[in-house]
Structure 1
Amino acid sequence: MVAILLGIALSVLDSSILNLALPDITRHFGASPSSAVWVVNAYQLATLGLLLPCASLGERFGYRRVYLAGLAVFTLASLGCVLAPSLGLLAGARALQGVGAAGMMAVNAALVRLTYPVSVLGRGIALNSVVVATASVAGPTIAAVVLSVASWPWLFIIQLPFGLAVFLLGRRALPTNVARMPQAVLRPADVLMNAAMFSLVFLAADALGARGGGAPDARALGMAAALLAAGVLVAWLYLRRQWHLSAPLFPVDLLRIPVFALSMCTSVTAFAAQTIAFIALPFLLLEGQGRDHFGAGLLITAWPAATVLAAPLAGRLIARVRGGLLSGVGLLALAAGLALLVLLPDAPANWQLAAALFLCGTGFGLFQSPNNHIILTSPPLARAGAASGMLGTARLTGQSLGAVLLGLVFSVAGVRDGGAEIALGLAAGLAAASAGFSLLRLRK
């Protein structure tokens, strides 16, 4: 359990810990801010593009091997980040870190399924969700503490002993999977098309400027449209190749299971709603309501704090309440909380904002664990790796979709002229649609 939780915490922390250090990295290498952003993008692109290939490797050669190999690559790449003499080599080392993180994240949930007895599997998945949520929130805080006393390379130095310790512990403790898929062969063309499909969507979101919270210009909109069109074309060709394979890299065989497909739709739309809200909220609080950064940050913390509290409760309820119903109720709460944020007066009290955000976080915490439980347990055990890879893929795809939609909202309505409220309304609609997908599972 410790090896699994620390590994996923390392990979999630690394995706958010570096944002605060980008100005320091820019000054250190004498680079432009637009170039320095690729230190973050390289990690995310490598992770997104290789999740499913790593999951396929896990099904063929064993989840334990892929997890430990990913952890070793991640730790060595952290050392490479410390020693990188240029921005280009730092971005390359970060991409290598992303490869290692993909190895860990792709099979993490499959290892959870092998580790926990069936009677408490829901609690194990909930504990994983709590660690992911906590690590996501803790990243900027840890970075702020480290950067207040040391330079940016120490963000990677502190990862080295943890990576080594988790590797040694994992070699002793992690289980091996008996049920494997020897026919799961990685074809280079499929791997390239998989990476291209996800990368084009990610780059479209980046071109819209939504990841940085800015409003895109006409050139950025044209670039984003071209990238999205290319992504759709690659996806069509790629999925046609996968459709009739017995162990496809992109698990279309699992998407033929109705409850699995509905769970993926639930996850993608829920994470799209969360991403829109997380990026739009600072604009609402800082620009729309004139709050300071400390006060806004403290209010936003109510969301992840509620998620951390609600996820263990959801884990205990999984054995008693049907997952589609429990997730659906949570997502309706998320939609209600987002709608409240839009309907509050122009100058709401702190308690009103905190209550709405706490409701959002509680709903998200109730949704995530039962939804992940259905995704992980509805396929056959031999395809647990593919299901595990799809967990991370759904999260990252939803986040990219949310960024694209938010960029479109900001391009039409502007950032300050009501754009944040429109974005939160869109997020509420996506959360309600996600609840609909979840409740449809009750019929399956």
Structure 2
Amino acid sequence: MSRLFESRPGDDGLPGPERRLAVLALILGTLMAVVDTTMVNLALPSIARDLDVAESRAVWVTNLFQVTCAAFLLVCAALSELITRRRLYVAGLALFVCASLGAALSRSLEWLLVFRALQGLGAAATLSIGPSLYRAIFPSRLLGSALGLSALVVAGGYASGPALGGLVLSVASWPWLFALHLPLGLCALWLARRALPRESGRRSGFDAAGALLSITMLASVFIAMDTLGHGAPAWQALIWLALGVGAGVFFVRRQRHAAHPLLPLSLFDEPRFSLAVSASGLAFIGQGLAFVALSFLYQQEMGFSPLQTAWLFTPWPLAIMLVGPLAGRLADRVNPSVLSSAGLVLLIGGLIALARLEAQAGIVDGLWRTALCGLGFGLFQPPNNREMMASVPHERSANASGVMSTTRTVGQSLGVALVGAFLAAGAPVQATLWVGGAACSLSLIASLARMPLAGAALARRSPSSPSGQGSTMVPNSSSRSPHEHSGRH
């Protein structure tokens, strides 16, 4: 870990000592956003009871946060080019903290939903540009290691959220879940203002029409998947899906002709980027599907208690936390596609093993299978994220970061929706795990397809360059825009 904060001659990014505070700001911001969803889920019954509303309405305390966050990821990534990433990140943190205070003080569902939507908007601002800030903070030679650290933080958030929520609810009421964000958020705000790299904005227009279409597209698709996942009539999901697809068609047309497109479609002209995005989306479908399917498998099929089920889930994020940083570090030295593909093979094997799990199997049988899935995903994600970020020019890092976050969110949501659709149709829960394995198999095909391209990029990396710049980007991307050099302040 200490090598992440060592400076070498010719390094881009922030000087070594300044990286610590900047990374701590990113870690705190990411943890608050990731922990929030899993932590608040546990409080939904208490919220419904205290606010005297039906549990079906209380579910929107979680849903509205997720819908808002998903809908604004691409918009926030594009907005960062106009007002700078530092300002957007600080504004997002400030909004998240203020909305957390409002949620903690809310005494009606309506006001709580308003503040949850504002929390989702603040989370979108921080999550959409997080990976691109890692690229601005760390030198190119450490990009994989930095993204491995990011994967560790996200996995740690998912792993600790339920436990932290349960601990708080055992000694206090649900508003304290939101109040918990206040000290952490204020600390993250101070660090972000002090340590994040300063840069100049793009000083050009903003595609407002594209932003509106993007919000409509992503929100509609997310609601369609959520509707399908909760067993609602299929026609409701189809209406939302049709709205999302229609908005998507107009969004793509708009991006082709807009003077300042919200999402430059030229990003997808780079095969390494397109294939990495495809691999990521399919893998997250498999993970999102497995997380929900395993809850039903362990409790309904195998008879484990909720507490035992929680323990059976634990090896997955723990394995990511252990393997992710190592995989990221290796991705700086060897072909990232080889590592990602090897991880997908392990993930597919773990999902198949879980699908073949018998009802009378013991806890140990579930633990090693879940751990195998976590090892595979931990080996896959950081190298694949490195490919996404390193295959585009520095000036497009924010856009690539927004695509990365959107792909993760939509992929996981689609996985959850597929479980609901399969269970509503009467399919056995094991069948959904086979579908997850099939999605990850398609991800493996995409990962293998870009292996020669990633190998050629690795071969072009100049051995004489301390920072290893240039070779991992598309042509002309090694010439950084002036604002990228202004990180030292």
Q: TM-score range by the shorter chain?
A: over 0.9
Partner of 1:213: none
Amino acid at match of 1:362: L
Amino acid at match of 2:377: F
Map 1:122-137 → 2, pairs under 5 A: 122-137=144-159
Post-superposition offset of 1:345: 3.3
Measured in 2, the distance between the counterparts of 1:340 and 1:443 equals: 30
Distance 1:85 1:70, change over 3 A: same
Post-superposition offset of 1:246: 5.7
1:190 aligns with 2:195: no
Q: Is the 8 A contact 1:181 1:382 kept in 2?
A: no
Distance 1:152 1:345, change over 3 A: closer
Q: Is the 8 A contact 1:78 1:97 kept in 2?
A: yes
1:34 aligns with 2:24: no
Post-superposition offset of 1:177: 3.4
1:349 aligns with 2:371: no
1:205 aligns with 2:225: yes
1:425 aligns with 2:447: no
Q: Is the 8 A contact 1:269 1:434 kept in 2?
A: yes
TM-score, scaled to structure 2? 0.85
What runs of 5+ residues in structure 2 fail to find an aligned partner? 1-22, 454-489
Q: Is the 8 A contact 2:135 2:143 kept in 1?
A: yes
Partner of 2:446: 437
List structure 1 segments (4+ residues) > 6 angstroms apart after TM superposition.
Answer: none
Q: Is the 8 A contact 1:53 1:186 kept in 2?
A: no
Post-superposition offset of 1:94: 0.7
Partner of 2:90: 68
How many residue pairs are counted as aligned between the two chains?
431
Measured in 2, the distance between the counterparts of 1:297 and 1:42 equals: 25
Measured in 2, the distance between the counterparts of 1:166 and 1:207 equals: 35
Measured in 2, the distance between the counterparts of 1:43 and 1:367 equals: 28
Q: Is the 8 A contact 1:114 1:177 kept in 2?
A: no
Q: Is the 8 A contact 1:70 1:102 kept in 2?
A: yes
2:129 to 97, 100, 107: 107
1:299 aligns with 2:312: yes
1:164 aligns with 2:186: yes
Measured in 2, the distance between the counterparts of 1:316 and 1:257 equals: 24
Partner of 1:278: 291
Partner of 1:186: helix, strand, or coil? coil
Q: Is the 8 A contact 1:67 1:104 kept in 2?
A: yes
Q: Is the 8 A contact 2:78 2:263 kept in 1?
A: no
Post-superposition offset of 1:117: 1.6
Distance 1:232 1:145, change over 3 A: same
Map 1:31-430 → 2, pairs under 5 A: 31-177=53-199, 181-183=202-204, 185-210=205-230, 216=231, 220-245=233-258, 247-414=260-427, 418=428, 420-430=429-439
Measured in 1, the distance between the counterparts of 2:98 and 2:301 equals: 44
Measured in 1, the distance between the counterparts of 2:419 and 2:277 equals: 21
Deviations 1:210-256 (A, max 9, x none): 4xxxxx25xx2121122112211111111111123464213422112
Once structures 1 and 2 are overlaid, which stretch shifts more, 361-370 or 154-163? 154-163
Percent of residue pairs bearing the same amino acid type? 40
Measured in 1, the distance between the counterparts of 2:364 and 2:107 equals: 48
Q: Is the 8 A contact 1:66 1:103 kept in 2?
A: yes
What runs of 5+ residues in structure 1 fail to find an aligned partner? 211-215
Q: Is the 8 A contact 1:276 1:423 kept in 2?
A: yes
Measured in 2, the distance between the counterparts of 1:237 and 1:431 equals: 30
Q: Is the 8 A contact 1:181 1:247 kept in 2?
A: no
Q: Is the 8 A contact 1:108 1:388 kept in 2?
A: yes
Deviations 1:340-394 (A, max 9, x none): 1122333223322211111100000001101111111211111111011111101
Partner of 1:72: helix, strand, or coil? helix
Measured in 2, the distance between the counterparts of 1:251 and 1:307 equals: 32
Q: Is the 8 A contact 1:208 1:224 kept in 2?
A: yes
Partner of 2:62: helix, strand, or coil? helix
1:12 to 34, 40, 43: 34
Deviations 1:145-170 (A, max 9, x none): 00110111111111111111111111
Measured in 1, the distance between the counterparts of 2:325 and 2:235 equals: 44
Deviations 1:378-428 (A, max 9, x none): 1111111101111110101101221232222122234xxx2x100000001
Q: Is the 8 A contact 2:72 2:215 kept in 1?
A: yes
Post-superposition offset of 1:63: 0.6
